[in-house]
Amino acid sequence: MSSRQRLAQPSARLHRKARWPLSDHFDGKRFFNPTHPGSAPSPRVVLKMLREPRAKWPKFVENIGVPRLHATLADDEAALTFINHATFLIQFAGKTILTDPIWSMRAGPAWPLGPRRVRKPGVAFADLPKIDIVLLTHNHYDHLDLPTLRRLKRAFAPTVLFAAGDRRLIGPLGFPAMHELDWWDVVTIDDTLKITFVPAQHFSARTTWDRQHSLWGGYVIEHRGHRIYFEGDSGYSRHFAEIAARLGAPDIAILGIGAYEPRWFMTPVHMYPAEAVRAHRDLGARLSIGMHFGTFQLTAEAFEQPKRDLAAALAAEGIGEHEFITLLEGETRRFRRPGV
């Protein structure tokens, strides 16, 4: 059975060596991007990028978004709360999902390494509702934060979905249900909720010796007629159109619009806002929501530049700003199922 057909197996799979099939993104030793096989930057190139001049960010920004986490949702509703960076709380009637959660002060291996946050999370950890499912897209520190995952395990013991090759990080945490996924793997939670791990164009590494040893991707979440796409990290490529062709156009697409300068380095792995607008169109999304900006200074662009560049890209394409929005950190929006 191919990786595109099989259902992901639960935690028992984590106790034996994973053997991923040879594919258009795995050569038997390392994962790679089908359209840009050599796009993963070397440590030398990363160091060169880190020496680039950077805009000065504020030291601290106050959040003004208002979370509404405990409203009763009907079967035809979904609620999305932007917490920070790539962390969203996605709520349905009876199910709560958390994406790429990070509540740590820094996005790095240990204090004082890694970029320091300039704002608090939009929702305090103590205020979270019960978390049923955690989605992890790849192993970069700003998306897979082990201290936060340990807190989630203690508080909620959720089901965790993660990319092929990351069981060495997630397995020892001892979550009760864990699914390690290749592209197009499907996890059926119950008769109301199905989640598919889908392609992205990015790379993986937490050290200089584990580069490309694990996969990266995004998720399509389907619940009672809602279809929500969460990108994770990705450069622009053909996979957005492929996702829509295989799984249908999403009602909501959550797309990265930050961490894109300098372009000589970032083009293969993070989208410029104008590319995010192209991805929005490729997907056929009814609504897109920008993310991956305004919390950690990962790259060279100015603090407010992603929102400005997004507004300019929408105007250039004649797309209304109501069709591709950003939320305040902590802000909750409720959405009705299409056609209701």
**What's the CATH code of the domain at 188?**
3.60.15.10
Can you tell me the mean pLDDT for 187-195? Answer: 97
pLDDT of residue 5: 40
Is residue 259's pLDDT more than 90? yes
- pLDDT, residue 301, reads 97
Contact 296, 117 (CB under 8 A): yes
Question: What confidence score (pLDDT) does residue 27 get?
Answer: 93
Residue 16 has pLDDT above 60, yes or no: no
Note the pLDDT of residue 104.
98
pLDDT of residue 4 exceeding 60: no
| Mean pLDDT of the region 280-291 | 98
Using CA atoms, how far residue 235 sits from 172, 202, 239, 276, 301, in Å, is 31, 6, 10, 9, 17
Question: pLDDT tens-digit profile of 30-39?
Answer: 999 999 877 7
pLDDT band at 12 (very low <50, low <70, confident <90, very high): very low
- The pLDDT mean for the chain works out to 92
Beta strands in the chain (DSSP E): 77-84, 87-92, 95-99, 133-135, 159-163, 177-181, 186-190, 193-198, 218-223, 226-230, 252-256, 287-291, 324-325, 332-336
- Higher pLDDT: 46 or 233? It is 233
Structural domain contains residue 155? yes
User: Is 10 within the bounds of a domain?
Assistant: no
Peptide bond into 262 cis (omega under 30): yes
| 273 to 248, 257, 268: CA distances (angstroms) | 23, 5, 14
CA–CA dist 272, 266 (Å, integer): 9
In a domain, 264, yes or no: yes
C-alpha separations of 212 from 135, 179, 231, 299 in Å = 20, 19, 19, 21
pLDDT of residue 281: 98
Least confident stretch, 9-23, 129-143, 173-187, 272-286: 9-23
Query: Does 229 have pLDDT greater than 70?
Result: yes
Asked whether residue 178 carries a pLDDT value surpassing 60, the answer given is: yes
Count of structural domains, the chain: 1
pLDDT reading at 203 higher than 70: yes
Distance of CA 24 to the CA centre of its chain: 22
Q: Is residue 244 part of a domain?
A: yes
- The model's pTM is 0.93
Is the per-residue pLDDT at 268 higher than 60?
yes
What is the sign of the dihedral through the CA atoms of 177, 12, 151 and 198? negative
Number of residues that make up the chain? 340
Tell me what pLDDT residue 18 has: 52
Q: Which pLDDT does position 168 carry in this prediction?
A: 96
Question: Which pLDDT belongs to residue 339?
Answer: 62
For residue 197, name the pLDDT band (cuts at 50, 70, 90): very high
Q: Which pLDDT tens digit goes with each residue over 306-318?
A: 999 999 999 999 9
Distance CA(325)–CA(289), nearest Å, equals: 5
pLDDT value for 7? 43
Domain that holds residue 278: 62-336
How far from 163 is each of 134, 143, 250, CA to CA, in Å?
12, 12, 21
Lowest-pLDDT choice from 41-55, 65-79, 137-151: 41-55
State the burial class of residue 318 (Cβ atoms within 10 Å of its Cβ: 0-12, 13-18, 19+): exposed
Q: Is 316 inside any structural domain? A: yes
Confidence of residue 112 (pLDDT cuts 50, 70, 90): confident
Residue 8 pLDDT greater than 80, yes or no: no
Neighbours of 76 (CB within 10 A): 16
* 21 found inside a domain: no
Check pLDDT > 80 for residue 10: no
Instruction: Average the pLDDT over 257-268 and give the result.
Output: 94
9 and 179 in contact (C-beta within 8 Å)? yes
Q: Is the distance from CB of 139 to CB of 166 less than 8 angstroms?
A: yes
Q: Is 47 part of any domain?
A: no
Q: What is the model's pLDDT at position 236?
A: 97
Question: Mean pLDDT across the stretch 157-173?
Answer: 97
